[in-house]
Amino acid sequence: MLDGIMTGLTTAVMPFNLLMVVVGCFAGTFIGMLPGLGPISAVALMIPITYGLDPSSGIILMAGVYYGAVFGGSTSSILINAPGCASTVVTSFDGYPLAQQKQAGKALALAAYSSFTGGTIGAIVLLFAAPALASVSLSFQSSDYFALMILGLTAVAAFSGKGQVIKALIMTVFGLMIATVGTDVTSGTTRFTFGSVDLIDGISFLLLAMATFALTEVVMTILKGQHKEEEEQIDMSQLGSMKLSKEEIKQVAPTIGRSSVFGFLVGILPGAGATIASFLAYGLERNLASAKEKLKFGKGSLRGLAAPESANNAASTGSFVPLLTLGIPGSGTTAIMLGALIAYGIQPGPRLFLDNPDVFWSVIISMYFGNLVLLILNLPLIPYISRLLVIPRPILIPLILFFSITGVYLVSFNTFDIHMMALITVIAIFLKLLEFPMAPMLLGFILGGLMENNLSRALTISDGSFAFLWERPLTLSIVVVAVVVLLLPPLIDLYRSKKKPSTEVRGPETAITEGEG
């Protein structure tokens, strides 16, 4: 393991990779600040750029963008009460009231410290958890993989919020369907190409990700007329002091510690991600607080700000665990990274840390750097970065559109892809209006090919019998977990509706329909 850490360290401290961390954090913070564009869109926009880099640098850049976007989302939550993404919705509950009390500087600083601690604690746990899990998963066979992917897909659906489970499952199946377009790898026959030469290679992952996240998100803001709303001018003189007093640090320290560990654990769960972690951590903190302290929640409580901030960053780190060790993404954002890794010819999964130790370890090491960059570089620069928000929307939106379109075009040099993006965007807008979540579709699409391969292998080995699903104890236990995960939410709903609706504060259901994180 020490060898690995050294390999990772030498890769991560290469000047170019350090530059990637810094650039990633900045770009991420900026994109994350724009309302409507979250980590998924930010990472999707980076894919074309990373194609020109080597795998470690590419993934380091994307990881930097990921943290940056989560951090940027908090900034706009606090300053203008417009969360950049779902995982920072909770931050605005207490962050915006603090900004209104002319304590924006303190709120931003606390958010940065909490994010830093959450991210760092997450990265330390990841350092130990990932290799341990990876060595266990080396004994996995194709049947176990198939079961694991089923678990990943059902978990995303199960965590997608109240009344959304069936819709999320449908979108997963839709993603799997899109994945079957093109040449079948096992037999070499073409499927669903309808005679089109452009479809023989299938639909590229980059195209789908860019169209459903970058393009659709931007077009949705236009559709809703949000581009006409002028951003509230942020008055830099009103930020207030960025210093926290000793008492305040004492007050929030236990909160940050608790929420970080908690957030990391939630992040590991496939499909849960940063959004759910932040909501749950806020709820937990509120329940733990004294009656007097409880009243402050929602009116500018420091604990109420620290809890979701540390939890969502720790969860972002946590969601790398299933990605790096099992090859199964824990969230929409890591799903995009999985797709990028596959495009590099790297197979994420248990063999990653044996075959590509430099990628595996440098990602983990660069997480420390990323957190450090956010704290020491981004925080002082926030007043300047937020000035970029002043670029008028009529100028900014066509530029984002341009980048997402040319990003796809410059990889394939085929204008058919641009037409395809426009078509997919139309479909995605229609589905979004019907409140179908997008993340499960992308996950289904990415896992589709792998799933079919593993199913084909498992079925061929067991001579066409589905007994492989329960013959190995490991496969059986994963299948059981998948079934439980799938059946739990409807059962809980049923139980709740029998018991009488409780008077919970805003639950996670309100904002996680996007499955972001």
Partner 1 sequence: MTITKDHIGGLVFLGLSVAYGYYAGQIPLLPGDEFEPFHAQTVPNALALLGSLLSVALLLSATRSPGNKLSLRGYDFPLVSKLLLLVVLFALALEWVGFLLATIFFLIGGYWLLGERRIKTLLVASVPFAVGIWFVLTQLLDIYLAPGQLFSQITGG
Q: Which is nearer to partner 1, 328 or 421 (CB)?
A: 421
Q: What residues numbered 278-297 form the site for partner 1, per CB under 8 A?
A: none
Q: Which of 189, 237, 290, 502 binds partner 1 (CB under 8 A)?
A: 189
Residue 460 touching partner 1 (CB under 8 A):
yes
Question: Under the criterion CB under 8 A, does residue 166 sit at the interface with partner 1?
Answer: yes
Residue 510 found at the interface with partner 1 (CB under 8 A) = no
Residues 196-225 that bind partner 1 (CB under 8 A): 219, 222-225
**Of residues 373-392, which lie at the interface with partner 1 (CB under 8 A)?**
392
Q: What's the rounded Cα separation, in Å, for the pair 354 and 373?
A: 29
Q: Could you give the CA distance from residue 367 to residue 317 in angstroms, rounded to a whole number?
A: 8
Burial 215-239 (b: 16+ CB within 10 A, else e): bbbbbbbeeeeebeeebeebeeeeb
Residue from 16, 138, 402, 505 binding partner 1 (CB under 8 A): 402
* Nearest CA among 331, 325, 361, 328 for reference residue 263: 331
In one-letter notation, the amino acid at residue 282 is: Y
> Which ranges constitute the DSSP H helices of 138-237?
142-158, 165-179, 205-209, 216-223
**Closer CB to partner 1, 174 or 470, in the complex:** 174
Residues 309, 314, 319: CA angle, nearest 5 degrees? 130
User: Does 14 participate in binding partner 1 (rule CB under 8 A)?
Assistant: no
Considering the rule CB under 8 A, would residue 192 count as an interface residue with partner 1?
yes
Closer to partner 1 by Cβ: residue 92 or 475: 475
Nearer to partner 1, 7 or 190 (CB): 190
Residue 182 φ/ψ, nearest 5 degrees? 115, -160
Total residues contacting partner 1 by CB under 8 A comes to 59
Is 493 near partner 1 (CB under 8 A)? no
Candidate segments 12-20, 175-183, 274-282, 336-344, binder of partner 1 by CB under 8 A: 175-183
CB 309, CB 110: distance < 8 Å = yes
The distance of closest approach from Cβ of residue 441 to partner 1 in the complex, given in angstroms and rounded to an integer, is 12
Rounded to the nearest whole angstrom, what is the least distance from the CB of residue 171 to partner 1 in the complex? Answer: 9
The 3-class SS string of 344-413 reads CCCCCCCCHHHHCHHHHHHHHHHHHHHHHHHHHHHHHHHHHHHHHHHCCHHHHHHHHHHHHHHHHHHHHC
CA–CA separation, 204 vs 226, rounded Å?
30
d(CA 259, CA 309) in angstroms, rounded, equals: 9
Q: Which is nearer to partner 1, 176 or 367 (CB)?
A: 176
x/- contact string, 314-343, with partner 1 (CB under 8 A)? ------------------------------
Q: Binding residue for partner 1 (CB under 8 A) from 237, 384, 395, 502?
A: 395
Q: Is 469 in the site for partner 1 (CB under 8 A)?
A: no
Question: Which is nearer to partner 1, 5 or 401 (by Cβ)?
Answer: 401
Say whether residue 187 binds partner 1 (CB under 8 A): yes
Nearest alpha carbon to residue 115 among 252, 18, 22: 252
Instruction: Please state, in angstroms and rounded to a whole number, the distance separating the CA atoms of residues 356 and 59.
Output: 12
Residues 406-445 that bind partner 1 (CB under 8 A): 406, 409-410, 413, 415, 418-419, 421-422, 425-426, 429, 431, 433-436
CA distances from residue 400 to 232, 299, 427 in whole angstroms, order as listed: 21, 35, 20
For partner 1, the closer CB: 163 or 380: 163
| Residue nearer to partner 1 on the CB measure, 170 or 342 | 170
| Interacting span for partner 1 (CB under 8 A) from 36-44, 80-88, 380-388, 449-457 | 449-457
15 binds partner 1 (CB under 8 A): no
Q: CB of residue 416 vs partner 1: minimum separation in angstroms?
A: 8
Given candidates 94, 285, 452, 516, which one binds partner 1 under the rule CB under 8 A? 452
C-alpha count within 13 angstroms, C-beta hemisphere, residue 268: 14
CB of 127 to partner 1, least distance (A): 35
Q: Look up residue 464 and give its DSSP letter.
A: T
Of positions 177, 288, 377, 476, contacts partner 1 by CB under 8 A: 177
Q: Distance (Å, rounded) from C-alpha 501 to C-alpha 509?
A: 14
Alpha helices in 13-164 (DSSP H): 15-33, 39-50, 55-80, 89-100, 104-137, 142-158
Q: Which range in 3-11, 72-80, 277-285, 452-460 contacts partner 1 by CB under 8 A?
A: 452-460
Binder among 174, 294, 476, 509 for partner 1 (CB under 8 A):
174
| Of 241 and 465, CB closest to partner 1 | 465
168: closest CA among 158, 180, 178, 181?
Answer: 158
143 token code pair: 């049947």
235 binds partner 1 (CB under 8 A): no
What does the alpha-carbon distance between residue 427 and residue 177 come to, in Å, rounded to a whole number?
A: 15
List the one residue from 186, 196, 245, 510 that touches partner 1 (CB under 8 A). 186
How far apart (Å, rounded) are the C-alpha atoms in residues 257 and 277?
A: 14
Residues that bind partner 1 (CB under 8 A): 52, 163, 166-167, 169-170, 173-174, 176-177, 180, 184, 186-187, 189, 191-192, 219, 222-225, 227-228, 392-395, 397-399, 401-402, 405-406, 409-410, 413, 415, 418-419, 421-422, 425-426, 429, 431, 433-436, 452, 455-456, 459-460, 463-465
